[in-house]
A and B are shown apart, each in its own frame.
Chain A
Amino acid sequence: MSDLTILHLYPKEMNLYGDHGNILALKRRAEWRGYQVKVIEHHLGDTIPKHVDIVFGGGGQDSGQSKIEQDLRNNAAHIKELIDQGTPGLVVCGLYQLFGEYFQTNDQQKIQGIGALRCHTIAGPTRLIGNIVISSPEFGEIVGYENHSGLTQLAKDSRPFGTVVQGAGNNGTDLTEGILYKNFIGTYLHGPILPKNPRVADFLILKALQRKDPSIKRLKALNDNVELHAHSVAANRPR
């Protein structure tokens, strides 16, 4: 039996910005510490297993998003339950939006999200594109690349994933970026986010392991020189 089961939502439809790299980062960083990892790809029509340890979903094109909406709604209750129970996970860009309450398109149509995260998104006039740096009390500096036109508003009592240092973030106005709810992260950062921000990757791995064995206090340290070097180069690139 594997030590960690990662659920990868819609790898075919939602794979626009190298999101495969996030799965690879989780898998390798757990394996390098001696844990066995199994990745379950969830495709349209599949059943999501009852127990998964980490949930991941990426961003896609509009056409990809419309293909998965129904399937996502079919699985909404189960996914919400996983997140409410504290299952760690990460959704990026398109799935971040659909995990929220709704997405309002340019022609005022409301596409219902699954409401797992307390936020909503309204289509914006321009695309917010470029390198982005944010900071967070838990994770320190986080680097990535954003490319979205939706403007996301957090509900009053929701916590952002980080505060924008350079770039646009959720909506380009309130300096929030993403959302952190229990152990679950929604964000616009791709790049992909986890390889260059190993602390975020390790947070997801540690939380997943701790839910199975609360006696685990910390993860074995890895040599992250390459990760941190790439991080600092990215942090200093122009927008």
Chain B
Amino acid sequence: MEKLSIALGKIVQSATRLRGGGGSALPGLVVERSNPDFLKNTLSKLKHGLIVVSGTNGKTTTTKVVSELLAKQGLRVFTNKTGSNFVRGVISEILANIKLNGKFDYDIAVLELDEAHAVKFCEVCPIDYALILNVQRDQLDRFGEIDHTAALLQKVADHARRAVVLNREDPRVRKIKSQHVYYFGLSDQLIQAFPSDDNLLDANQRHASKLSAHCVLESLDGQTAQYKINRHSYQCQLSLKGIYNAYNAAAALALCRVVMPELAPAKLVADLADINSAFGRGESFQINGSEVELLLVKNPSAFQLSLNSFVDRKHDYMIAINDNVADGRDVSWLWNVDFSKLQHVEVVSGIRATDMALRLKYDTCSVDTVEEDLARALKVFAHSSDKPKRIFATYTAMLEIRKIISGKSIL
């Protein structure tokens, strides 16, 4: 049965690929129907278990950092690529990597799942560890209230057989209960840079939680991050950009320590050095001879963190806002972000460029060009000045920008 469904799934997979479709869900569907236990049978055999990474912001980068850190410790790591973070997508990903005889040569699986899909996943496949990053408002038109999202994550934690790793600085995540809980955290000094969902526009002094943490991000000076593990401090020159990615790395370090307690912290921290952020999370490319960083902003807290991390006078800025279903139809969230630090933006673009221009007007931030069409906007932006450039973009705007740039249609 097992082998038959693998063969069947693989046939469907090659057939859909031949037809030129990426088609990641169909082979998964075929296997799911013909062999409902496929996922469970494959993933529960892994020697070091199955990890689920969930939360509102930072899943993709954190999953990447965890996977690469574990690989550097000699484990064979299975992970899901972005865009296949639902049950059928994971099955399809397995199909592409499993042998016809059912051999699945991995020691551990690290899966990125959004809150709703994570719950569905846990219902069909037992998980060993859950890493929960944060609960912030994101696409309220899809998930409803954030308290509801927090309840979903509690369910995921309930399914974790070995341990859960939680962000102690997030009031909703901190409340999640489980038998074996470990935390990651921030120092008092750094927590000011992180707006929690309840105080996006609130300047009140915040303090780090007193819960004992498995890994704390103590400081970040340029690219030099200092992590505290077991009362010792370890420094690392990060490739990851932005303070939130340095904090995602703290989450990854805490999790790796839980999964492999025998690892020496010094080596683990040192192994972070050459790990990069995921696609669209600070990746750089060239247009018209100047460097451009592309930063995904999909909700107010991510946008605020990005502005806190990435705004200075040395760069030109473009903001691209779409309101497709994957971005969230509702653009109200732009008003929960404080843009006053920007002062000036060269180009705003995307389907809701005018909403962004309006938002900036009320933070008395000036805008040179409002151009809804992304290709034309990029062309204008490419010639804005000699300064290096930064683009903040919502999800579908980011995909579109990437496509335009890789097609080099603007050069």
Contacts and interface: CB of A to CB of B under 8 A. Distances in A.
A234 B137 contact: no
A62 B146 CA distance: 10
A129 B141 CA distance: 7
A20 B335 contact: yes
Q: Main SS of the interface on chain B? A: helix
Nearest to B355: A230
Contact of B335 (A192, A237, A238): A192
Interface stretch (B84-92, B229-237, B357-365): B357-365
B140 A18 contact: no
A238 B322 CA distance: 13
B330 A62 contact: no
A127 B144 CA distance: 9
Given A12-B202, A17-B140, A20-B336, A131 B145 contact: no
Contacts of A18: 332-336
A90 B211 CA distance: 42
Q: Counting chain B CB atoms within 10 Å of each CB, which of A15, A25, A129 scores highest? A: A15
Contacts of A24: 335, 362-363
B357 A230 contact: yes
B355 A190 contact: no
Interface string B329-364: 111111110000000000000011011011101111
Contacts of A233: 351-352, 354-355
Contacts of A237: 323, 329, 351
Interface string A69-95: 000000000000000000000000000
Interface string A216-239: 000000000011011001100110
- 10 A-B pairs closest in CB distance: A18-B335, A21-B335, A18-B332, A230-B354, A61-B145, A230-B358, A17-B332, A229-B354, A145-B330, A24-B362
12 contacts: A17-B330, A18-B335, A61-B145, A62-B145, A62-B147, A145-B332, A147-B141, A191-B331, A227-B358, A229-B354, A230-B357, A230-B358
Interface of A: 12, 15-21, 24-25, 28, 61-63, 127, 129-131, 145, 147, 190-192, 195-196, 226-227, 229-230, 233-234, 237-238
